[in-house]
Amino acid sequence: MNKPLLIENTRIIDPASDRDFKGALLIENGVIADTAEGTIPGVPADAERIDARGMIACPGLIDMRVFTGEPGHEYRETLESAGHAAAAGGVTSILTMPDTAPAIDDGALVDYLLRRASATTCIRVLPSAAITKGLEGQDLTEFGLLREAGAVCFTEGRKSLQSAAVMRAAMTYATNFGVPIVHQPLDTSLAGEGVMNAGPLATFRGLRGIPTQAETIPLDRDLQLALMTGARYHAAQVSTARSTELLAHYKKRSPAISAGISINHLCLNENDVGSYRTFFKLSPPLRHEDDRLAMVEALKSGAIDIICSGHDPQDTEVKRQPFADAAEGAIGLETLLAGTLRLYHSGDVDLMTLLRALTARPAQILGLETGTLARGAPADICLFDPDYPWIVAEATIRSKSRNTTFENARMMGKVMATIVGGKIVYREDAAQ
């Protein structure tokens, strides 16, 4: 086992217990042995010490929407490279999507991912499994076998189930096995060949738009089915003001309903597309500023539960295309915390709420032991300096792909160290 580790002179924020204090944190045998205001008595003499003056210690971030290229598209991202990117961003657990080649629709593939992750990554990898075979939206996968193999939830990844009957059946089966359905609501017939938010800006740019109803109509359907079946349902990414209204309404009737938003949709809007900048072509598309502001308010009120990176690596060839032809998606593991801190520094959202959306709530939704700094919990910790200035530079990106929406962005707040299971897997002073 690793030597005991003492983090001292730090501000400790644990959203799971609503605690915020200055003190110390002791790690032994891979778990949190003690936390205390001020100092901890009786620290082992051989303990490694980190003087974290001016820093904040919080639970390691849990990212609930991460695409990798393994298996099938390793040139975009491997589990190993995603792990390094996550560690640099303070992310200690990632929920991987089943959009691989082949799709993760068989227990043997879940087992493969877990074994590969154990052998190559420095963080925790939580595999999701496909709802339908081949992600084709028709025949359900073997939920029981996939769950037994280690899948923590069921999702169609980038795709959206168009059939209400298939969704109802999926929710029923998922309820039987006690796992959540994570779904990206999108009516493909309404989205059509749209490539950005529908409105005057899309018209001005000569691009086909995606109306907000392409999200809200299937979301309303899903929420009604969740009430019908009693399922644990998580809307993977919402992006419109109307979506937050629907979530607020249905969450009053079921505590099993939750929703997420990508950091891109909290920080950016459709104007960032600018002169056809393909790194800003996302799914769902960046919306109007009024929608972004509604998302921020929904995060504060609890209508939106978690913030994710939406990490979706794409290689240069599929991004260096005319906007209408370019692939959707952006990487985000390394900038998840820094992007979130923009909302703190602007005074829009308090730090406890933001960190809860990155740690405790994802852990609760997925039923994890992590996401807390309670005694006996796994020692997954993010140590960051909230006021550290830095610039997102392509040369320092650890992901295999470079398609970030924050290229050359000035950030305030940086991860200084990431700890997984009591082991330091990233340290800023040793990273360059």
The model's pLDDT over 18-52, given as tens digits with 9 standing for 90+, comes to: 999 999 999 999 999 999 999 999 999 999 999 99
Q: What would the mean pLDDT of 248-259 be, rounded to a whole number?
A: 98
Q: What would the mean pLDDT of 246-272 be, rounded to a whole number?
A: 98
Cis previous bond, 284, omega within 30:
yes
Q: What would the mean pLDDT of 334-363 be, rounded to a whole number?
A: 98
Cα distance between residue 37 and residue 219, in whole Å: 44
The residue behind tokens 């520094």 is 345
Q: What is the pLDDT of residues 290-333, one digit of tens each?
A: 999 999 999 999 999 999 999 999 999 999 999 999 999 999 99
Tell me: pLDDT of 432 over 60: no
The closest alpha carbon to 110, from 148, 65, 79, belongs to 148
Q: What would the mean pLDDT of 363-374 be, rounded to a whole number?
A: 98
Is the Cβ–Cβ distance between 165 and 191 less than 8 Å?
Answer: no
Domains identified in the chain and CATH numbers: 5-57+378-387+410-430 (2.30.40.10), 59-366 (3.20.20.140)
Tell me: pLDDT of 1 over 70: no
Cα distance between residue 416 and residue 109, in whole Å: 34
Cis previous bond, 218, omega within 30:
no
Contacts of 187 (CB under 8 A, 6+ apart): 160, 162, 213, 214, 215, 217, 218
3 state SS of 129:
strand
3 state SS of 123:
coil
pLDDT for 144 equals 97
Cα Rg, the chain, nearest whole Å? 21
pLDDT for 2 equals 80
Q: What would the mean pLDDT of 357-365 be, rounded to a whole number?
A: 98
Tell me: pLDDT of 431 over 50: no
The residue behind tokens 């490539």 is 195
Q: What would the mean pLDDT of 368-395 be, rounded to a whole number?
A: 97
| Helix/strand/coil percent split, the chain, to 5 | 35, 25, 40
Q: What is the pLDDT of residues 172-228, one digit of tens each?
A: 999 999 999 999 999 999 999 999 999 999 999 999 999 999 999 999 999 999 999
Tell me: pLDDT of 254 over 60: yes
As a whole number, the mean pLDDT across the chain is 97
pLDDT for 153 equals 98
Phi, psi of 217, rounded to the nearest 5 degrees? -65, -50
- Output the CA–CA distances (angstroms, integers) from residue 325 to 75, 128, 192, 314, 330, in the order listed: 20, 29, 14, 13, 15
From its phi and psi, is residue 170 left (phi > 0), alpha (psi between -120 and 50) or beta? alpha
Q: What is the pLDDT of residues 57-91, one digit of tens each?
A: 999 999 999 999 999 999 999 999 999 999 999 99
pLDDT for 335 equals 98
Tell me: pLDDT of 234 over 60: yes
Q: What are residue 411's DSSP bridge partners?
A: 390
Sheet of 233-235, strands arranged across: 129-130, 154-155, 181-183, 233-235, 257-262, 306-308
The closest alpha carbon to 155, from 144, 176, 141, 165, belongs to 141
